[in-house]
Chain A
């Protein structure tokens, strides 16, 4: 039997994280939401999520910092960036740092969920 995949949503906008979490849980993912970079690193350490959705602009430790620590390291979760910063340059940079995909706000939920499903197969 398939183990339940763990997803961590890192976004300083809780309302967004909460909405996404509700949906992901409904479709069968063990989902948690975190609005703070430092807390996110703790949770990743402890909970070992399979995939994290990562916001870039956050107070304190931001998306880049987290990518720096985790990006491309063995045992690290799959990282999908959901960012408001929308330029080709940043997108390339994020992918290089280890992001699996980059989504732009406002996110198309259908596309996002489809990608998550693919990455978590």
Chain B
């Protein structure tokens, strides 16, 4: 991954299922526990209820025995070791009887009988009966504190009292019910002032709870196993469900994460392929991430991590930095996306061009906005653009040269055809001129003075003019014969200017010389070059002459493959529409009779014959500049 994960990976937050599991388990355990506790409680209550039933049954039996005995007015039983005559029944007649066979019988009253049965009965199990009363006949039947309280409350009309209490450290259910006076009771108890329906006392039964409790515990234990199994089973189900949900969640998270990672990877890859660096900045934590390409662009060691704000500032000029900061501010505050395009100097990389875009985004987890930006190194692009511009300029220059060459070619062809034409014409014109000239000369010899002599002189002058035209035309017809040697353009010019010095002074013309000593000598015919300079100087003299004074600036300098001589004047210049025509034969702006219109075309032809070029730049009022280029090793006649 190209991105440095500096921010710690987010903690995997407790899953929803995890939370639910805890709650479900607690609730489930609570339900099971509550149910179990309720079950245990119910079991205990059942145990007590069972004991109560047993107690009640025992009570009913006691009462039944008592009533039975009472109904019979007591029971006579043989006197033995266990059963002695009741001392509390001494007031009863016939307490003791002797059977005809001599056996001793004694009367057992119901209380006595019941007590004895209960003694027997208690030996069989854990039910202990007891009869008691507030008005005792036999002190053995004395009530304890609880029985006494109950007996008192029976007198108030209560029918039953139950309690669970420890007796000798063991739990017992105790039950007590009132014992009411019936008819039979009065046989023995009438002396105590009872009447039928009075509360004589109470029958209490104590049932040992231990066996019931043991039973309840046993059942409870069985229930505990069942409950435990149910709890375990359901808990396991919950756990399995939770694990399943966790797995689903994990798969979903993983899928989400891998999707995110994949899309991040894809983004990173795509940006890398495009050599686009990208970065993220979290203003809340002030953490920045840089992609690999960022480090490449800024020539920074990835081990150093992204730069601090201060370091980053160092990469840019103050204006660029201001611009970047306002881009960031706009992104954060207004959510706007801005782009920039800088040329800057990066240590270790030099002058580079950067283009970038800054935007902001809200992360999926929510929270504050983060900055996101891309940066591209567009140096090559810019360089190519510049190269293209240069190439374009060169192309335009080449095109211009081509146009000029074409113009020169056209001009040369024009001149050549004029030469061919004039060669034929020259001879035919020279002959009649020769005849006229001869005649005039002879006439002048005959007439050494006078008007005829003068007129013949004028004829001869005009003939010379005509001859000059014809002879100049002849130059285009024939090859220029050259005797080439290495010539310094500057000294050649100086020589010609020197020969014309009187003329130039008369016309108030000053010559400024800027001769670069590095200008190479060129292979040329000195006499021909003299002619070129003479033509240029004469032309300028004629152009400036009308204004009274002027300056000629003569410059020589080295150029590729040869030398250049630039001849400028500050004369009236050549109007743009005719500047192209100045090298055409017979083209002249001079007054009739002052020029043949051949000078510059001859100069042009001479320079061309040397393999060089003669060009002009001018405009009305701008003066004129003639530029001669001569190749260093030219001089071979190029024009025939």
Contacts and interface: CB of A to CB of B under 8 A. Distances in A.
Contacts of A109: 438, 441-442, 445
Given A89-B481, A106-B467, A84 B430 contact: yes
A109 B474 CA distance: 23
Contact of A20 (B426, B436, B438): B438
Interface in A50-88: 57, 84-88
A19 B481 contact: no
Interface in B566-624: none
A57 B424 CA distance: 11
A24 B218 CA distance: 182
Task: Name the residue among B430, B431, B438, B439 with the largest chain A CB count within 10 angstroms.
Answer: B438
B438 A16 contact: yes
B447 to A, nearest CB: 14
A120 interface: no
Given A15-B435, A19-B442, 16 more contacts: A13-B435, A16-B431, A19-B435, A20-B438, A22-B442, A57-B427, A84-B431, A86-B474, A89-B481, A105-B433, A106-B438, A107-B437, A108-B441, A109-B438, A109-B442, A110-B441
B40 interface: no
A86 to B, nearest CB: 6
Interface in A16-40: 16, 19-20, 22-23
B437 A106 contact: yes
B478 interface: yes
B491 interface: no
A38 to B, nearest CB: 20
Contact of A84 (B427, B439, B441, B445): B427
A84 B426 contact: yes
Interface string B271-296: 00000000000000000000000000
Interface of B: 426-427, 430-431, 433-439, 441-442, 445, 463, 467, 471, 474, 478-479, 481
A13 B434 contact: yes
A105 B426 CA distance: 11
Interface in A87-116: 87-89, 105-110
Task: Name the residue among A86, A88, A108 with the largest chain B CB count within 10 angstroms.
Answer: A86
A84 B434 contact: yes
Contacts of A15: 435
Given A105-B431, A106-B433, A109-B445, A87 B478 contact: yes
Nearest to B437: A106
A85 B427 contact: yes
Contacts of B438: 16, 19-20, 106-107, 109
A16 B434 contact: yes
Nearest to B441: A109
A87 B481 contact: yes
B446 to A, nearest CB: 9
Contacts of B437: 105-107
Contacts of B474: 86-87
A114 B478 CA distance: 31
Contacts of A89: 478-479, 481
23 contacts: A16-B434, A16-B438, A19-B435, A19-B439, A20-B438, A22-B442, A23-B442, A84-B430, A84-B431, A86-B471, A87-B478, A88-B481, A89-B479, A105-B433, A106-B430, A106-B434, A106-B436, A107-B434, A107-B437, A109-B438, A109-B441, A109-B445, A110-B445
